[in-house]
Amino acid sequence: MKISVLRERRSGETRVAATPETVKKLVASGHSITIESDAGRTAGFLDSAYEEAGASIAKDAASAAAGADIVFKVRGPMKDEVAVLPEGSTVIAQMEPFALDPEVVSALNAKKIASLSMEFTPRITRAQSMDALSSQSNLAGYRAVIEGAQIYGRAMPMMMTAAGTIAPAKVFIMGVGVAGLQAIATARRLGAVVTATDVRPAAKEQVASLGAKFIAVEDDEFKAAETAGGYAKEMSKEYQAKQAELTASHITKQDIVITTALIPGRPAPVLVSEAMVKTMKPGSVIIDMAVTQGGNCPLSKADEIVDVGGVKVAGFSNLPARLPADSSSLYAKNLLAFLPLVTAEDGALNLDTEDEVVVAMLLTKGGETVNERIKS
């Protein structure tokens, strides 16, 4: 197959969908790889490195995409990007399926372009190596702590000096998924005193294993708050009120609060109210990782730091892009792991498969929107 990799054009996007390492492996598998010039520059991968790995370099997007069977991207294409994609080709990217522009969907279908969304990779054992949401969330959780430490402006660990002792920072992680667990681990490595909360009982053991303290109302409802598949159940209004009261009293004492709660296709739940923010000490920091879906704190704004009585509320819309080399490397490996599922024995593209992973990820095909999760 001919695989093309285009330069990302969205504001602030520094990642790239292939690295010299994955290009070398793709070429070894018999694929032809074309990279748009400077596609990897912001991630630290130069055209010369791609050429050494066996790729061809094209001067622009149209030249790179010409004749492509598959186009790899980090973010889903915008409408003007769809215009350069070959008719009947396939694009694999983080399509942001629940926020897809209807005009982009129409443009894809008009050219009978198949699109697959990396966000819809099923959470099953054999698809773990393809799970881009996890790979990017892991780095986002790490970076959230680094950003929080930088904005906080004080030392994270306890320091005992001849001039006196500096107390360790208190860090509270709200939501113990992939991002939250990495945030806990990172804050602990920096020497902070870390607490965390989640509505899933299994999270308590995970938090403890990383050396942090678990904060939650542990009543009978909490003990039954997890489905057989490991996901959180929706809690009653009574439980939510009790948990909010506990959270409010805890947040008052914290130096850095990192919120990670996201629900696919729905607005982010409010975890830190305006009233809670106003009880925090001046100099404290909130990092809202859910800002792109409305935020876990109603005061957060995308890519801004809002000062609320001395408390800094920061919302970063693309934390993985602040670690472009590593984020690109992991994402490119996710694509590399997925490709065999749509490759026939003769090396050609094969989307006519009943594989549950491919079926779950496929959004458009043959001029139609085929994914029930995004059909309006």
Active site residue: 231, 236, 249, 307, which one? 231
Helix axes 20-28, 324-338, angle to 10 degrees: 20
Active site residue: 131, 198, 255, 288, which one? 131
Interacting residues of 245 by C-beta distance below 8 A, sequence separation 6+: none
Residue 210 corresponds to which amino acid? L
**Are the C-beta atoms of 111 and 88 separated by less than 8 Å?**
yes
For 15-31, b/e burial (b = at least 16 CB within 10 A) is bbbbbbebbbbbeeeeb
In degrees and rounded to multiples of 5, residue 126 shows phi and psi of -75, -10
**Are the C-beta atoms of 148 and 285 separated by less than 8 Å?**
yes
**Is 131 noted as a catalytic residue in this protein?**
yes
What are the helix and strand counts (H, E) for the chain?
13, 17
**Are the C-beta atoms of 143 and 322 separated by less than 8 Å?**
yes
The residue written with tokens 């472009």 in the block is 324
The residue written with tokens 């003769």 in the block is 346
Rounded Cα–Cα distance for residues 174 and 246 (Å) = 13
**Is 346 noted as a catalytic residue in this protein?**
no
Q: What is the dihedral of CA 237, 240, 245, 248, to 10 degrees?
A: -130
HSE (side-chain half, CA atoms, 13 Å) at 164? 3
Instruction: Residue 110: count other Cβ atoms within 10 Å of its Cβ.
Output: 11
Residue 101 corresponds to which amino acid? D
**Are the C-beta atoms of 313 and 305 separated by less than 8 Å?**
yes
**Is 56 noted as a catalytic residue in this protein?**
no
> What does R_g of the chain's alpha carbons equal in angstroms?
22
Supply angle C-alpha 303, 292, 203, rounded to 5.
Answer: 110
Active site residue: 32, 63, 128, 317, which one? 128
Q: What are the tokens at 321?
A: 């892009």
**Are the C-beta atoms of 188 and 182 separated by less than 8 Å?**
no
**Is 123 noted as a catalytic residue in this protein?**
yes
Active site residue: 134, 240, 273, 317, which one? 134
Active site residue: 123, 126, 266, 373, which one? 123
**Is 240 noted as a catalytic residue in this protein?**
no
Catalytic residues: 123, 128, 131, 134, 231
